[in-house]
Structure 1
Amino acid sequence: MTTTTVDAVVIGAGHNGLVTASVLADAGWDVVVLESAPVPGGAVRSAELTPGYVSDLFSAFYPLGASSPAFTALELDRHGLRWTHSPVVFGHPRSPDDENAPVVHHDPEDTAAMLAEHDPRDGESWMSVVDQWNRIRDPLLHSLFGSSFPPVKGAATLVRRLGTAETLRFLRFAVLPARAMAHELFHSEAARCLLLGNAMHADVPTDAPASGIMGYLLTMLAQDVGYPVPVGGAQELTSALVRRAESSGARVVCGTEVTSIDVSGGVARGVRTAGGDTYVARRAVVADVSAPALYGSLLPRDAVPARVHADLEKFEWDTPVVKINYALDSPIPWRSKSLNEAGTVHVGADDDGLVRWNADLVTGRIPERPFMLFGQMTTADATRSPAGTESAWAYTHLPRGVTDDASGDLLAERVDTVLEEYAPGFAASIVGKHVQRPGDLTADDANLFGGAVNGGTSQLQQQLVFRPVPGLGRAETPVGRLFLGSASAHPGGGVHGAPGLAAARAALASDGVRGWVHRKTISALMDLTLGDR
């Protein structure tokens, strides 16, 4: 058993924890990152599940990573990261017999021309949305994924760009349900499906308020930066993040589980590990773990207000994921040839079908016809499998709270059935298959509790000032020098590094006398919301 003293301890070497480590180390802090798994990365990892085929175990495409302020500031290309793209960004067949599925090309003019084939008005509509995106892109991304909350600077820039009246119109647009947004913007089912499929990357039903903004964001990023993937697999993104952190002096220690955070006088003093070692933190502890794990397991129960524990009893995880990894001996035989060069394909439902699929999830029914996100990884990156083959995956959702293996296996079988309908002959090309059920995802990454991949639901009641619970919408916690820097913090899931950047900036701001005053101010504000301990 040893005692090590550093400026900051980061719990967890997921992408958020590694972003935090880089930012703090850049400021001259002595930083150690402690990861319980044998390798870093969290939900950004890859492996050869079938020999010769590289599979991304969790996340796979990174439009947010290629555009977020947190990642772009780190200049990961200088640390070995290389992005690559599929020839076509993504597509969405409307039914199994759709032979002309809509797709997004890298050139917006090409996308508009394709949509005009479905409805002449939608070509113009697409270019109008792209023009709007180009005007608001930077302030919107900084508002959503910058380090400050509330995002005052980003909002102010948005107002200057659009004017007050147009900003109000955009805010009204941003809180639309995805289905309403798609119908306001476009006339054809083809164009609407492009937005609606992207909205399903979150766990918000298409008729719920604010479900549209995810669809809008990912659709416009597809047209802007595409859906890039790291050459060689998701692990290469993690490797670049590790090299970036280490280049500034941070240390990443794997196979070391943190079991508790030491708190004295209302301040986090360090952590203890399962092996009995102690790490003393002179300046900060940053937790890249879920909010329930931080407040329910790592901290002494009396270290935070009782109201926090009461609120966390209402914390809502996002719907469980089942992911199937495929090794195929040939390209996927899509009925619609437009999908052959798409990296991402949204499969299994049209506009109305998404409503029915969401209804199954809400009512606790395992969907008979699952909607899924599908990745053709070799199409996006030729290094993933031998020439003429395909490394692919599909993921879909079980109803909230349904996490047993039998349900996961049943859903995986139904995924295969749907894929065979859209691509006859698909099953015959499978030479390797590996199913990750909710329990498997949790075993590989404790932050993916019950197969939830977004650190908690993305629905409005658990976003912004309500994430992870009311009164704790920033990286700061009720414990001094302790910061939450995971997907359970604002702005939530996705590989963009924003929670990690926010936690690092908050730690730097709170350091020293001025920081102590700031922490007391934060605590006073929280007392108004949280009540007595």
Structure 2
Amino acid sequence: MSTADAVVVGAGPNGLVAANALADAGWDVVLVEANDEVGGAVRSAEVTAPGYVTDLFSAFYPLAAASPIIRDLHLEEHGLAWRRAPHVLAHALDDGSAALLCDRAEDTAAGLDAEAPGDGDAWLELVRGWDRIRDPLLDALFTPFPPVASGARMVRRLGAADTLDFARLAVTPVRRLAAERFRGRGAGLLLTGNALHSDVPPDAAGSGMFGWLLCMLGQDVGFPVPEGGAGELAGALRRRAEAKGVRVVTGALVTQVVTTAGRATGVRLADGTSISASRAVLADVPAPALYQDLLADHPLPARLRRDLTRFQWDSATIKVNWALDRPVPWSADEARGAGTVHLGVDTDGFVDFAADLSVGRTPERPFLLFGQMTTSDPTRSPAGTESAWAYTHAPHDSDWTGERLARHVERMEEAIERVAPGFRDSQVARHVQSPGDLESQDRSLVGGALNAGTSGIHQQLVFRPTPGLGRPETPVGGLYLASASAHPGGGVHGACGWNAARAALGANGRLTGGARRLLARTAWDRLLRD
């Protein structure tokens, strides 16, 4: 048996950040990963054709670029370099037109104003609002709930009336947000397409916040990609951790969190090996996997087990990767220089697509997120070619294999062909990832769900992963939830791992606020009491 101060289970971005944070505090840390390489859903490989690098899961990282947590790790000192496409994002329509999110907000505004005079000023008003609260908002998003200090800073900057306006924006459906502020369709396409990066329907409360946040991040930091592939971001996190003394163990599946006298004291691996943790165990795994599998033999409060039966996953995902022998032949010139392209639906089509997912129906006209990786980073494929991918969400309760899967991939290519005639002729090779494939390649992507649980407001903040305190502490002493199932949820920002590390350090006397931690502990006990 080996021993350490802490064991981190799972080397996705949150687990890697947690390991770095604990090592920075001087802890002896073992990071255990089931796959043969670290990164979780931040990995890349040549799966289509030689010389074409594909990001296997996530690809564009505005949250990572904006995250103060990632920034303060100084990953550029460990080999990370960011690259950006000429334009952030386009939404291509079947009529050959496109809405464009440019690198500069003024250029985005000019394009919107050309379609509907006044929309440019309305867009810049949103950007000015972002600039006003950017730092305290990011602090609030990426720190444990409730964000008292950063929330107070936001209120001071906004004042009472504007704070209420922002609170209303945060819960406004994205379709309503677009209708209230813009006359043309372009801004609504940009906002709604970005909102659908989550699984929140465009007519649902909170979708406006997701759309606004990603659009504003696009105007602020862009949608950058790691030079050489997504795996370079994970690689930089690993190199930094190992430089700080973290022991990284790959190809080792954790099957149990070991508890003694009600406290987490280590983990057991599939081969029977045990690793002892004298201070903490941090789990970068989905909440159901932690409580129902790794703690299967530990007595948990009945209320928690009941609440887990109501845990909702976000939508399944189908992803297709292509090696292309030329740039994508977009009908709309605006799409040619965009790293990310949304396509497949118009303004009303977003609603139809979301409705299909809500009732478990296969969308006949799927909404696609399309990535032009060589446009964003020329190292991804040979000169004059393109490494591309597209993904779409799909209902969970379907058999995404065989003919059913092939037909939906055909729908995806049909959608691309409508806005880029000749796309099929440019294909050198194709690689399909079904929801089952995604889960087999990363156990945390259950059923192809990318965000470790729905982003719906009923499972956010104090409701994430179950009704509680919205914090990384668990009912088991010394055990912390460090995955995207914890607040603030999905996205590559490292906050879930960072918050778990902070909680572990605080519980071991390395942070101030003992009385506050005691209150949190007793609140957990009161909430989860049988």
Question: Which runs of no fewer than 5 residues in structure 2 stay unpaired?
Answer: none
Change (3 A) 1:132 1:152: same
- Is the counterpart of residue 119 in structure 1 residue 142 in structure 2? no
- Is the counterpart of residue 220 in structure 1 residue 224 in structure 2? no
Mean Cα displacement is larger for which, 504-513 or 251-260? 504-513
CA contact (8 A) 1:295 1:301 kept: no
CA contact (8 A) 1:398 1:408 kept: no
Which residue, 403, 406, 409 being the options, matches 1:409? 406
Which residue, 436, 443, 447 being the options, matches 1:446? 443
User: 2-side partners of 1:318 and 1:420: how far apart?
Assistant: 28
CA displacement at 1:477 relative to structure 2: 0.2
User: Paired residue for 2:84?
Assistant: 85
Which residue identity lines up with residue 215 of structure 1 in the other structure? G
**TM-score, normalised to structure 2's length?**
0.97
Which residue identity lines up with residue 463 of structure 2 in the other structure? F
- Is the counterpart of residue 197 in structure 1 residue 196 in structure 2? no
- Is the counterpart of residue 371 in structure 1 residue 367 in structure 2? yes
CA displacement at 1:110 relative to structure 2: 1.2
User: Paired residue for 1:503?
Assistant: 500
Which residue identity lines up with residue 89 of structure 2 in the other structure? F
CA displacement at 1:194 relative to structure 2: 0.8
Following superposition of structure 1 onto structure 2, how do residues 451-490 of structure 1 map, counting pairs within 5 Å? 451-490=448-487
Which residue, 390, 396, 403 being the options, matches 1:400? 396
User: 2-side partners of 1:267 and 1:403: how far apart?
Assistant: 40
Which residue identity lines up with residue 217 of structure 1 in the other structure? L
CA contact (8 A) 2:10 2:33 kept: yes
Which residue identity lines up with residue 432 of structure 1 in the other structure? A
CA displacement at 1:300 relative to structure 2: 3.7
CA contact (8 A) 1:13 1:34 kept: yes
CA contact (8 A) 1:510 1:518 kept: no
Which residue identity lines up with residue 371 of structure 1 in the other structure? F
CA displacement at 1:129 relative to structure 2: 1.0
CA displacement at 1:447 relative to structure 2: 0.3
Which residue, 521, 524, 527 being the options, matches 1:526? 524
CA displacement at 1:11 relative to structure 2: 0.1
CA contact (8 A) 1:320 1:403 kept: no
Which residue identity lines up with residue 234 of structure 2 in the other structure? T
Q: Partner of 2:118: helix, strand, or coil? A: helix
User: Paired residue for 1:342?
Assistant: 338
- Is the counterpart of residue 268 in structure 1 residue 235 in structure 2? no
CA displacement at 1:400 relative to structure 2: 3.2
CA contact (8 A) 2:357 2:394 kept: yes
Q: Partner of 1:102: helix, strand, or coil? A: strand
User: 2-side partners of 1:161 and 1:516: how far apart?
Assistant: 30
User: 2-side partners of 1:82 and 1:123: how far apart?
Assistant: 33
CA contact (8 A) 1:362 1:400 kept: no
User: 2-side partners of 1:520 and 1:440: how far apart?
Assistant: 43
CA displacement at 1:520 relative to structure 2: 5.2
Q: Partner of 1:356: helix, strand, or coil? A: helix
CA contact (8 A) 1:15 1:495 kept: yes
CA displacement at 1:137 relative to structure 2: 0.7
CA contact (8 A) 2:396 2:447 kept: no
Following superposition of structure 1 onto structure 2, how do residues 27-176 of structure 1 map, counting pairs within 5 Å? 27-49=25-47, 50-93=49-92, 95-99=93-97, 101-146=98-143, 148-176=144-172
Number of aligned residue pairs: 527
Change (3 A) 1:382 1:206: same
- Is the counterpart of residue 297 in structure 1 residue 293 in structure 2? yes
Q: Partner of 2:326: helix, strand, or coil? A: coil
User: Paired residue for 2:22?
Assistant: 24
| 1:364-386: CA deviation from partner (whole Å, max 9, x where unpaired) | 11111110100000000000001
CA contact (8 A) 1:409 1:437 kept: no
CA displacement at 1:266 relative to structure 2: 1.2
Mean Cα displacement is larger for which, 507-516 or 408-417? 507-516
Identity, in percent, stands at 56
**TM-score, normalised to structure 1's length?**
0.97
| 1:395-441: CA deviation from partner (whole Å, max 9, x where unpaired) | 00111333532443322111011111110000010111011000000
Q: Partner of 1:268: helix, strand, or coil? A: strand
Which residue identity lines up with residue 131 of structure 1 in the other structure? R
User: 2-side partners of 1:189 and 1:73: how far apart?
Assistant: 39
CA contact (8 A) 1:53 1:384 kept: yes
CA contact (8 A) 1:54 1:384 kept: yes
Change (3 A) 1:185 1:403: farther
CA displacement at 1:301 relative to structure 2: 4.0
User: 2-side partners of 1:394 and 1:152: how far apart?
Assistant: 39
Which residue identity lines up with residue 271 of structure 1 in the other structure? V
User: Paired residue for 1:311?
Assistant: 307
Which residue identity lines up with residue 429 of structure 1 in the other structure? S
User: 1-side partners of 2:153 and 2:509: how far apart?
Assistant: 31
CA contact (8 A) 1:186 1:192 kept: yes
CA displacement at 1:519 relative to structure 2: 5.9
| 1:157-216: CA deviation from partner (whole Å, max 9, x where unpaired) | 100101122111111111101111111221110111111100000000000111111100
User: 2-side partners of 1:248 and 1:70: how far apart?
Assistant: 17
Change (3 A) 1:477 1:167: same
Which residue identity lines up with residue 73 of structure 1 in the other structure? D
User: 1-side partners of 2:399 and 2:61: how far apart?
Assistant: 27
User: 1-side partners of 2:81 and 2:161: how far apart?
Assistant: 41
Which residue identity lines up with residue 39 of structure 1 in the other structure? E
Which residue identity lines up with residue 22 of structure 1 in the other structure? N
- Is the counterpart of residue 432 in structure 1 residue 429 in structure 2? yes
Q: Partner of 2:390: helix, strand, or coil? A: strand
User: 1-side partners of 2:401 and 2:150: how far apart?
Assistant: 44
User: 1-side partners of 2:265 and 2:485: how far apart?
Assistant: 22
User: 2-side partners of 1:371 and 1:75: how far apart?
Assistant: 36
Q: Partner of 1:524: helix, strand, or coil? A: helix
User: Paired residue for 2:488?
Assistant: 491
CA contact (8 A) 2:88 2:102 kept: yes
User: Paired residue for 1:422?
Assistant: 419
User: 1-side partners of 2:76 and 2:18: how far apart?
Assistant: 18
CA displacement at 1:517 relative to structure 2: 7.2
- Is the counterpart of residue 390 in structure 1 residue 413 in structure 2? no
CA contact (8 A) 2:145 2:469 kept: no
User: Paired residue for 2:319?
Assistant: 323
Change (3 A) 1:287 1:516: farther
Which residue identity lines up with residue 306 of structure 1 in the other structure? A
User: 2-side partners of 1:115 and 1:24: how far apart?
Assistant: 46
Which residue identity lines up with residue 478 of structure 1 in the other structure? P
